[in-house]
Amino acid sequence: MRDCRNGTFLQLLRSFLRIQNGNFAVWFGLAALPLVGAVGAGVDFASAAKSNVSMQSALDSAALYLAKNGSQMSSSDIQAAAQKWFNASFTEGDVANISVTASYDANALSATVSASGTYNTQFLKAGGFETIPVSGTATAKMEGKRWEVCVMVTSPASNHTLKTTDTAQINFYNCMVQVNTQNWDAVEARNTSYIHSTNGDNCFVGDIHFGDILPAKDPTCTFFPDPFANYAMPASASTCTYTGMRVTTNGQTLNPGTYCGGLQLQNISNVTFNPGVYIISGGDLQAQGQGNSNVTINAQGVTFLFTGHQAGLTLKNVVFNITPNENAGQFSDFLFYLDQSSCAGGNCNFANKSDFENVAINSSGIIYLVGQEMDIGSGSQITLNTGCILADFILPGDNSVLNVYGRTDASTSAQIALQKTGTGTNPVLVH
């Protein structure tokens, strides 16, 4: 017997579908509306998010540019530059009503750029949502780096205070060159001489006059005060150990103490200073070899302090084998220190310059001759590896060479006092 149950069921199903076909389509359409709306909303929100990312990238670019260049711009120039850099990077055509604002903080050396706009929706507008807000902010500043100040020119109102002439060479390495002179012609390299700094920062408060000087000055340079101006002489400076001493015998050995009336080393070939602190009071340290021959000065673990009338150095035809005394209290690390206590009212009693003529020094430590010119000439070769020179003028000439290396491992109080944070050469994002 044939089973009719399956056949009857199929016939009933076909009849139901014929009757309900139109309603089924309506039901399906109604059910699909929320799904289509959700997909459309997702597309609009994803596009708005993409626009936001693109806007932030454009803001980052503008902020980095302004952080590096804003110190030399007016407020209107800063705003115009921000708009230009933003427009060059942001190309999202579905964003309208864009507003860009920019500011520069001269104290923090930072730039902030903000933008806002509205993304025009494609799908959500059917539901009454025609726009989605997009916005962003970027802040950038110059990357700071801790430098040792390896040269510091302290005269603020003179001209040509760091100057080379007549094939002289200055080479600075891994340090900041600080010239506090405010004048437009503070730094100069004449003839075929040069001033080069490798892996360093040229912090010139004033400007470069002309010459072969590298790199260019840091445009955000700030004044750096003399950290050693208030150092006081030891009490022993007021008591003479020796007076008017003149050394004319080869091979003589000298001892620490206070040398009143200066100390002269004349027409000898060599002399030795025992380790310690030597105070030269009321005169200078004069040293000159026999004729055109050199005098060799051996001074290991020695610090010279100069004070009083005509204090300073006059060196000619000298090979100076010197290292600083490391047990001299606040004067540890100093090779030479010129006392500032006699400079009341700006009128110092000491000589107006210290002369280095055909002098060879290869050492480390600090040469402090503030209030004087440091004149370096006649083929002198002076290298501080590592160390620092502080003077009102530093003036190499006549085929001389000055090499100064910065320190990366400052540990003593004097070394730490010579540390300064520069702006570096690269801007970085901070927000």
Q: Mind listing the pLDDT tens digit for each residue in 288-309?
A: 988 789 999 999 999 999 999 8
pLDDT in tens, 43-94: 878 888 898 999 999 999 999 999 888 877 999 999 999 999 999 989 887 8
Tell which residue, 232, 196, 198, has the closest CA to residue 214.
196
Q: CA angle 261-264-268, nearest 5°?
A: 165
pLDDT at 1: 44
Say whether pLDDT at 27 is over 50.
no
Stretch (H or E) spanning 67: helix 5-69
Select, from the ranges 23-32, 98-107, 375-384, the one with the highest average predicted confidence (pLDDT).
375-384
Read off φ and ψ for residue 215, nearest 5 degrees: -75, -175
Is the N-terminal amide bond of 215 cis, ω within 30° of 0?
yes
Q: How far apart are CA 43 and CA 33, in angstroms?
A: 15
DSSP state, residue 228? T
In sign, the C-alpha dihedral spanning 355, 374, 277, 311 is positive
Q: How many CB atoms lie within 10 A of CB 192?
A: 13
Give SS3 for 359. Answer: strand
Of the pLDDT bands very low, low, confident and very high (cuts 50, 70, 90), residue 202 is: very high
Of the chain, the end-to-end C-alpha distance in Å amounts to 86
DSSP letter string, 164-221: E-TT-EEEEESSEEEE---STTSEEE-TT-EEEEESSEEEESS-EEESEEESPPPTT-
DSSP state, residue 378? T
Q: How far apart are CA 305 and CA 334, in angstroms?
A: 9
Q: CA angle 206-429-51, nearest 5°?
A: 130
Encoded tokens for 375: 């004149």
Say whether pLDDT at 17 is over 80.
no
Read off φ and ψ for residue 228, nearest 5 degrees: -115, 10
Read off φ and ψ for residue 206, nearest 5 degrees: -85, -150
pLDDT in tens, 127-160: 777 888 999 999 998 777 888 999 999 988 899 9
Q: The pTM is what?
A: 0.71
Q: Which residue has the tokens 């990357």?
A: 143
Q: How many CB atoms lie within 10 A of CB 248?
A: 10
Of the pLDDT bands very low, low, confident and very high (cuts 50, 70, 90), residue 41 is: low
Q: What amino acid is encoded at 415 in this protein?
A: Q
Q: Which residue has the tokens 């912090």?
A: 203
Helix-strand-coil split of the chain, %, nearest 5: 25, 45, 35
pLDDT at 91: 84
Q: Are 387 and 405 in contact (CB under 8 A)?
A: yes
Q: How far apart are CA 240 and CA 243, in angstroms?
A: 7
Q: How far apart are CA 422 and CA 387, in angstroms?
A: 18
Q: How far apart are CA 364 and CA 137, in angstroms?
A: 48
